[in-house]
Structure 1
Amino acid sequence: MSDNQDKEETLASFQNITNIEDVGEAFSHLEAANWDLVEALSRVIPQDDAPLANLSPNTNPIHHHPPEAIAQDAQVSPAAAVGAGTGAAHPNANLNTNLNAQQAANTNGFRPFNYDEMPGPSQGARMFPTSQLLAQLTSSINLDPSRQNNNQNILVFNIHFNQQIYQIRIQSLATVEQLKRKIFDVTNVPQCRQALRGWPPSRASEAQLSETQLCNLGLAPENELILVDLTDDGFMDTEQDESTQRLDKIFKLHIVVEPEGRRTTLSMEGKTTIEELKTKVYYITNTPVRHQEWSGWPSGCDNETTLAQSGIEQNHEFVVRNIADRVQNNSNALNSSDVVNLDSESSADEFEDATDFNNSEYIFTDSPPVQPLNRHLISNNTNDETSGSAQFVENYRARFGEPHADFFIGSLEDALRLACHKPAKERKLLAIYLHHGESILTNVFCDHLMKDEGIILTFRENFVLYGWDMTYESNKDMFLSSLTACINSNASLTARNIKLDKLPAIMLVGKSRMMGRQTCEVLSVIHGNIGLADLQSRLFDTTVMYEEQLQGEIREENERAARDLVKAEQDMAYEETLQADMAKEAAKRQKELAQAAERKRIESERAEEDARRESIRLVAKQSLPQEPAEHEANISKIRVRKPTGDHLERRFYTRDTLQDLLNFVAANGFLIDEYKVFSGWPRRDLTAIEASQTLESLKLYPQETVILEERF
């Protein structure tokens, strides 16, 4: 046999004797003992001397063994130890009784984890039990797991994942990483993808460190944690962008309404919540939100999830059904086909209908009505709270008949929102009726207490009543998980700890103010072993207490509403003033812009005019003939008097034309279309005469003075 096979057999024997289910813990004990089964057992099995000394007159205490005998006994073979651990007989008849007394005084019959030495005459010497005594010990150890759970070094974790609860027991000295390893063993979710919610808020940051020890997190002996798979489809972003970047994107949702098959397309923003989408569908299809059953959402979504966070694509298809129609069909089918055959010699209802006839409140003159034979109100392994709730209401009516209380149909989250998540003046208590078909109190509680008109009226006016059947463990686990998610882990533990003989029960939940913030808490639990008067009194007292608490919140809300109204009016007046100022400022800016545009236009026109005048002046200057010298013959000296009184003077040949004179005037900036030129005597408007005539023909020689005048 190979060494690995030997170790596997030793490991199996060690676990069989000590009932240590954790392979890692058993492996560590054997490794520390160098795979010596006897030494490993001595590390785990209690070895206190005082109780062993009183076993029986025929039993020698360990510390009375001579060292030689101890050394000899320490060499016992693993097979002998295994035989002892599996029930080998021992001559001491009183050993088991004495050992059980010893274990009751110790920690469940197991030694501390790091206990290495036994007290004895020499504290420095390592002492081991003899093989015979080891057989006695291993054959008499109480391996009841329920007693092991009472060990203060063991923590219990209820892991909620995929609508199931996985219970894990682990030592308080273990680390968060070791807890995640155990979670991987039962859920197959790798550690790198595990996100745990539900840690104490003050220690949440420490719980994110793998090396943190559980004993340092301030945990209770039993704890509720929610496991989230970080790469589950519900958390994947199909477009590879952050959900915050998808909030403003438009999602095109193609919705098929069954059974008619009508298709509807909606375009919604990414910041739209699923609840808002359901409300929109209600307006279109007239199917109430609580009756809508959707197919196509990724896992992990709830009504508060936005489209951007849900992980759906921007073009996504859904199917919506009216669950009320399906429940009606299922109810008809159940009423027509569900037949349960019972043994004629032993009727199950004989036990179910049993009650305490010493209670004077329930002495019947007539026989109780015969009840339907099915015990459960919700079918096993129901995977949807809404359908389970609808089944509960229909089967409750069918089994217990009229009159009955008005149960809310939908999820626990919807019921909690309808009751508690409202303004204080509209708020109610949530009454959660917990049913169990195996309880002997069920028929009396439902047939008499729940049918009382006063009880029905109280529930209708002051409560939102939600019912759930906890007969099947699968439905119980799903409901407890929902309690943890919707309210808190304390509510889940409260419901879990209600014993069968106290069911049915009613949990009263209200939104209370704690530590400056409002949270939903379990205010009271009413067990099924109660009379009608007591039930009415408990409901009345809780309602009065809750209404007194709400009065303060209502006053605060009214005061806040009044402050908000004043502030809104002030904001409105300020906004109106601001709008008027903005309008004035806008008109002023508009006027300034118009003036600036006009100045720019004028400047542009002026620039164009200046450019035109300059162009005409240059052309006129360039067209002037050469000025003759003063001593030349046949010349004419022309003097031009400007409007300012100044003079321009130039010599021309007598053969030069009147146009040459006019060009001379224009070349000096006096354009002919703006000025007229007059001769002195006789007075003539030279600009009105044919310009091609010569100065000689016009008698403008040998000298002449002409006058410039502006045109009007």
Structure 2
Amino acid sequence: MSENKDEALTSFQSITGIDDVGEAFSHLEAADWNLVEALSRVIPHEDAPLTSPHPILVPEPPARNAVESTNGFRPPGFDEMPGTSNASGFFAAALQNQNQNLNLNQPHIQQRFPTQLTSSINLDPASSQNNNQNVITFNIHFNQQLYQLRLPSEATVEQLKRKIFAETSVPVCRQAIRGWPPSKASDAQQLGTRLCNLDLSPENELILVDLTEDGFMDTEQDEVTQRVDKDFTIFIQFESDPPLTLSLPGRMTVQEVKMNVFDIKSIPVRHQEWTGWPNGCDNDTTLAQSGIGLSHRFAVRSTERSAPTNSNQHNAFDVVTVDSESSTDEFEDATDFNNAEYIFTDSPPAQPPNRHLIPNDTDDEISGSTQFVENYKARYGEPCPEFFVGSLENAKQLACLRSAKERKLLAIYLHHGKSILSNVFCDQLMKHESIIQTFKEKFVLYGWDMTYESNKDMFLSSLTACISSNASLTARNIKLDKLPAIMLVGKSRQLGSNCEVLSVIHGNIGLDDLLTRLIETCEMFEEQLQVEIRQEDERAARDQVKAEQDMAYQETLQADMAKDAAKRQKEAAQLAERKRMESERAEEDARRESIRLVAQQSLPQEPSEQETGTSKIRVRKPTGDFLERRFFINNNLQDLLNFVTANGFLIEEYKLISSWPRRDLTAIESSQTLESLKLYPQETVILEER
């Protein structure tokens, strides 16, 4: 049942494009693991849920690496790009898998097949592609919580913000969203911008910032401007080399970063494949615009492959060369021999088959190991044990230099072409299924041919360096009539980092004895490892507790630092706002004083009480106090308004009202005289706020 559920889950995700395993699992649970019903819930159709009794053949989707970019980037939405087969093809394939687990002989199922199959499956590739790509998922991070929203690609930024408001209760006017692609950050600030025009991935990580009434601002464009002058610490992990650490300015582009890697590692830019750049980055994007943190990690691998050498051609010839102690048998220029047009008067004599598996005077261990495996399979055929290809040191590391739970024994098979036991040992014992499985499960098997003295000496030197001089001496003392032989090497706690020869199995042995010796050595070795395994478990448990404590401490520390940073930023914003308001207030006071001074300087000279043709004007202030001044009756209304302004009551803020008849003097033409306005010999007017 669990296998059927796994198949149903895989088919459901392939058809619907839902990457979230939890969401897909919930849909299938709601449908009681009926794939057809679950698909009908997610991809509704006009007809009833479809079921198909017949398998439908669909083409294979294209390989993932067929759409990868050559400059090391993957295009946005790469993981959800459709193949040549559309969604309906995957739908049919899933139905085919599902129908294998359904009882199709039920009458009510058979009645629905003919009509529902054609009406429910969408065979239009364009529409099928839209089904997979017209929904965008947003993971909104706010107040240490995650809100997942799904919107169609044709939705606008405003619709996204309204949906965020429904989830977080943060009003649209106070929402600042970070995490948009750098090249589209300005477009994302427009509420009418459609999501499909922002170069988004099928799933996006966004950060919501609440613009509080205190004036706290955190716009992404301001952050990019600030990050240009900062230094970024880049950690680059290569395939086999140690990590590289670079400190680069924020204005440096991605292309310049790649050139730096080329200068240091000699990997051409066209062969650099990077992992870790955010979506939307290209070679012209700066580090400040890319969206990475001030400390970021990347992985780089080289796609360049070394050209094949002529050693393969020589190796192929070595398999078919004659085996003789004479120089003619060791003739290396096989290509010239095969291409020459020799005319023989007599047929060449028949040559005996090769006895060696590694040619004489092999250059290094790796090439010798490669030729050993190839020639062993060519001579003895399948089945054959799985030999490790590489150096003896690498084989030792794979078997012995690992944790106690993963450690294996190193089995070194020593072959000799002149031994009469070789053919029987390889054709019968080494081909037996039990022997092959034992080597595969319990050992790392390494093979070497000691037929030629040059190869033997090179291997014994390597054995001395990798294992010990005793191991080399043991291998040297094995007599020809005991070869082939198997040396079993292991590492235990008592030996520290050194290895030792635990057992030597000679070729003059039967199948049962060989299997018994292998198993006994394994059991003895595993008993020695039990103490070390317990110690490793205890150490791992202590390390895990320490790591959890360190992680909790770091999380608490980061939270405190974030709170302090937010508090400081908020205080800075409040201080800036207060300074701005004080500055505006000072400017306003200066402007009012300037208007008052101009009005005071423009006032005519006040007449004395003895002069005739004057008018006494009293102005009642909003506080109830009075202002009083004498004017000539031929003075105009503007002089009265200037008098009021000179006392601090700007006409733009106050209006002057005459008592009888009641009228707004500030709305009358200011060039009229007091006499024409009947404001003599005395009059009381009122100041009112507008």
> Greater CA radius of gyration, 1 or 2?
1
TM-score, normalised to structure 2, is: 0.46
TM-score, normalised to structure 1, is: 0.44
